[in-house]
């Protein structure tokens, strides 16, 4: 501990604190920090300059975010930048702003009430009413005996917790995951990931977290023959998976963990019979089944849970984004009663400071009630899903640079960008451009110029607007995307 103000001054100067007064022997205070931090607003030029000086990017190089819009307002499905430009939020940010950018009064009031009564307690020591209420409601929204809940703060953290619980419950180590799935950016969740991002775990020459085994997807990979029937693809993929289980040793495998519908990897549903077959293999060999619903849970696919499209019952479910519609940092791990009972007398071995934050739980609770009261799922199924499916197919039919393998389920669609001269995707599975990165960058810029704020991760162009979007707004958005695709397509001629 610093004993005197003079010692404090020397220590802070040694750390290179630029704003600390060289003459005042005290801790930094308002007098020794730049006065700009007490200004009510900063102009665009200052925001851009400070961003370039201090703000780092996630996943990609910092240069990738220079010049991006500085957003200042959200309303409904729209976003507004510092220049007053208006954008349709075409991918609900990171597929998480499921109810758009206008917080309902019921959610806002719950947030303010909790903030004014009990803004925070550490839930490792106590219980709170919002945590109990949220657990109770979720137990009614999940099927069967999925009754035990933890509330981490992110999808990555939820998957970390699920992996740890599965290992501690089974006493086994290995986790089988699919390629093309994404499970998060923390150590174990990133090693569980099957897309290009897993390589960041090994970027410094290390091997990353241990105990993860990859299996092939039943869709998205040519291994199981796209020309075959769904039943044939399922049978081949399940035979492949069972062979891996046998070769790895069932007594070493804690869980099979997958996205029931592959999200960021391209909106891939599994062929009929596959997920049911995975469930059967898990039962046969005494392995837990973990369904990662972080991206698609809470209505994105037209059902509360994407595993409901297959009629299966997982042992552990994780979710996040739609739980609070991104109005608070909160995620969910749900386990079956048998697992919950085990951890009544055995330590879970997982925890975090902000787990089950009372304000986050209060927001999530009212968010879910809003979704139920306003039949958001019915709107997705009846109004949103048909438009996304038909419009994606229309764009594929019109443009040679768009693959005819469009995919859509609920309010979740994806088209693949091609080099029309070769028919190949413009970027391969590991993230390397095969042709014309300039065309892709132009496409991205034209989307922004036409008022679309969305996600293009070549070759995938995702469609995942807020679930509350109207059919007219959807058609308007697709018309804007069409203008950008016209420019993209022309670059190959």
**Which domains are delineated in the chain?**
5-40 (no CATH), 105-373 (3.40.640.10), 375-490 (3.90.1150.10)
pTM of the predicted structure, to 2 decimals: 0.92
CB atoms within 10 A of CB 394: 14
| Cα dihedral sign, 274-276-282-285 | negative
Rg of the chain, C-alpha, whole Å: 24
Q: What are the distances in angstroms from CA 480 to CA 48, 195, 445, 473, 477?
A: 27, 29, 12, 11, 5
- pLDDT tens string, the chain, 493 residues long: the values are 344 444 444 444 454 555 444 444 456 777 788 889 999 999 999 999 999 999 998 877 888 888 889 999 999 999 999 999 999 999 999 999 999 999 999 999 999 999 999 999 999 999 999 999 999 999 999 999 999 999 999 999 999 999 999 999 999 999 999 998 999 998 899 999 888 877 777 654 446 788 999 999 998 777 877 678 999 999 999 999 999 999 999 999 999 999 999 999 899 999 999 999 999 999 999 999 999 999 999 999 999 999 999 999 999 999 999 999 999 999 999 999 999 999 999 999 999 999 999 999 999 999 999 999 999 999 999 999 999 999 999 999 999 999 999 999 999 999 999 999 999 998 865 556 566 788 999 999 999 999 999 999 899 999 999 999 999 999 999 999 999 999 999 998 8
Are 380 and 410 in contact by the 8 Å Cβ rule? The answer is: yes
| CA-based nearest residue to 386, from 457, 478, 459, 453 | 478
Q: What is the helix (H) or strand (E) element at residue 478, kind and residue range?
A: helix 471-490
Are 154 and 329 in contact by the 8 Å Cβ rule? The answer is: yes
Cα-Cα-Cα-Cα torsion 100, 107, 385, 452, nearest 10 degrees, comes to 0
| CA-based nearest residue to 164, from 152, 151, 176, 173 | 173
Q: Contacts from 111-117 at CB under 8 Å and sequence distance 24+?
A: 111/327, 111/328, 111/359, 111/362, 111/363, 113/362, 114/358, 114/359, 114/362, 115/359
CA angle 405, 314, 229 (to 5 degrees): 30
DSSP assignment letter at 98: T
30 three-class SS: helix
| CA-based nearest residue to 377, from 308, 430, 326 | 308
């Amino acid at each position: 501990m610093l004993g005197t103000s003079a010692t404090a001054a020397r220590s802070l100067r040694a750390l290179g604190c630029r704003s600390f007064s060289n003459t005042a022997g005290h801790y930094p205070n308002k007098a020794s920090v730049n006065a700009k931090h007490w200004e009510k607003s900063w102009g665009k030029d200052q925001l851009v300059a400070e961003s370039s000086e201090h703000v780092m990017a996630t996943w990609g190089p910092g240069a990738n975010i220079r010049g991006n819009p500085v957003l200042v307002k959200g309303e409904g499905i729209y976003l507004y930048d510092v220049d007053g430009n208006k954008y349709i939020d075409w991918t609900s940010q990171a597929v998480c702003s499921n109810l758009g950018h206008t917080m309902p009064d019921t959610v806002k009031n719950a947030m303010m009430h909790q903030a004014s009564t009990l803004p925070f307690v550490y839930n490792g020591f106590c219980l709170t009413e919002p945590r109990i209420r949220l657990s109770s409601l979720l137990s009614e929204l999940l099927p069967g005996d999925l009754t035990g809940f933890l509330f981490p703060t992110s999808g990555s953290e939820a998957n970390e917790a699920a992996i740890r619980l599965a290992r501690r419950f089974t006493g086994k180590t290995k986790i089988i995951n699919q390629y093309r799935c994404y499970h998060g950016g923390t150590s174990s969740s990133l090693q569980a990931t099957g897309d290009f991002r897993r390589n960041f775990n090994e970027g410094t020459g290390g091997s990353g977290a241990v105990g993860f085994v990859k299996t092939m997807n039943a869709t998205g990979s040519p291994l199981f023959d796209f020309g075959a029937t769904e039943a044939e693809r399922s049978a081949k993929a399940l035979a492949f998976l069972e062979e891996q289980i046998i070769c790895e040793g069932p007594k070493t495998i804690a869980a099979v963990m997958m996205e029931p519908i592959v999200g960021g990897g391209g909106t891939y549903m599994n062929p009929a019979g596959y997920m049911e077959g995975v469930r059967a293999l898990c039962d046969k060999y005494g392995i837990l089944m973990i369904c990662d619903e972080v991206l698609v849970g809470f209505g994105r696919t037209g059902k509360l849970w994407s595993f409901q499209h297959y009629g299966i019952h997982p042992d552990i479910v994780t979710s996040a984004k739609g739980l609070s519609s991104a109005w608070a940092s909160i995620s969910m791990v749900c386990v079956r009663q048998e697992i919950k009972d085990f951890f009544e007398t055995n330590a879970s071995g997982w925890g975090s400071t902000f787990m089950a934050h009372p304000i986050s739980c209060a927001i999530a609770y009212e968010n879910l009630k809003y979704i139920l009261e306003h039949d958001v799922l019915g709107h997705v199924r009846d109004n949103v899903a048909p438009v996304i499916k038909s419009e994606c197919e229309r764009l594929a039919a019109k443009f040679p640079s768009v693959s005819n393998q469009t995919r859509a389920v609920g309010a979740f669609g994806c088209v693949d960008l091609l080099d029309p001269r070769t028919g190949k995707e413009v970027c391969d599975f590991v993230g390397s451009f095969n042709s014309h990165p300039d065309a892709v960058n132009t496409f991205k810029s034209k989307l922004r110029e036409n008022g679309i704020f969305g996600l293009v991760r070549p070759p995938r162009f995702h469609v995942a607007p807020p679930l509350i979007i109207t059919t007219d707004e959807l058609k308007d958005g697709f018309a804007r995307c069409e203008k950008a695709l016209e420019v993209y397509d022309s670059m190959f001629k």
